[in-house]
Structure 1
Amino acid sequence: MTDFVLVGGLLTVLALAVVQLALVLHVRNVLVDAAASGARYGTLADRTPEDARQRAAELITATVGADYARSISVSQADFAGARSLEVRVTAPIPVVGLIGPGGTMEVAGHAPVQ
């Protein structure tokens, strides 16, 4: 019986760690996609860099929450030899569920300016 409790506890901790890792990767992928989508949106003919920031913030807020959309910056950049719009998002790394003051991750999305 003691063996079952020890092994069961270990397997539970391992399963929760895998779920948490999947959540961190999901949040990172959402941030990358929102930054890239915001950059593409901001380079349209009738849009401004502020529109790019708002688009990224809307996508992040709708998917993982407003806490992850607090630090979004938009700037002109030279990416792969072409002038581009860069949307950079800095957000907390979720440590337990979506709660996470433990550090930050920074992602960026680029789109060529036409």
Structure 2
Amino acid sequence: MVDFVLVLLVLLPLVIGILQLALVLHVRNTLASAASEGARHAAVAGSSAYAGQVKTQGLIDGALSKDFDRTVVVRSALVGGAPGYEAVIEADVGILGLGVPGVHVRVAGHAVAEVGATP
């Protein structure tokens, strides 16, 4: 019984830390994918920054809980010297998703505007 408690004191924080890392990486990768897709959507000829922002928000809402406080901004930017769009997402990932303040995540996606698109 004593051995179980001693081992549990070491393993429990390790397992909780691994779960928190997995949650933060999942949220970061999901947001990075949504930011890239939103920037690409805005860069299509005939689209706009607002359309890219709506697309990005829709992708995030479909993949993550609404509990994550986040901001989504899609704006015109130079991408490698060419006109394009940048989508920036900032979110706070709580400790194990319980709502307790934890890690702040900021990701950005970029896309060069198609010919005929006006950034």
Q: Answer yes or no: is the 8 Å Cα contact 1:43–1:113 preserved in 2.
A: yes
Deviations along 1:30-86, one digit per CA (max 9) or x if unpaired, are 000000001111111221111100111011111112344741111111122222200
Task: Say which is worse superposed, 42-51 or 89-98, in terms of deviation.
Answer: 89-98
Percent identity over the alignment is: 39
Separation in structure 2 between the aligned mates of residue 103 and residue 39 of structure 1, nearest angstrom: 24
Separation in structure 1 between the aligned mates of residue 27 and residue 100 of structure 2, nearest angstrom: 12
Separation in structure 2 between the aligned mates of residue 51 and residue 100 of structure 1, nearest angstrom: 32
Match of 1:36 in 2: 36
SS of structure 1 residue aligned to 2:99:
coil
> Where does structure 1 lack aligned partners over 5 or more consecutive residues?
none
> Where does structure 2 lack aligned partners over 5 or more consecutive residues?
115-119
Separation in structure 1 between the aligned mates of residue 38 and residue 87 of structure 2, nearest angstrom: 7
Runs of 4+ displaced beyond 3 Å: 67-70
Match of 1:75 in 2: 75
Match of 1:104 in 2: 104
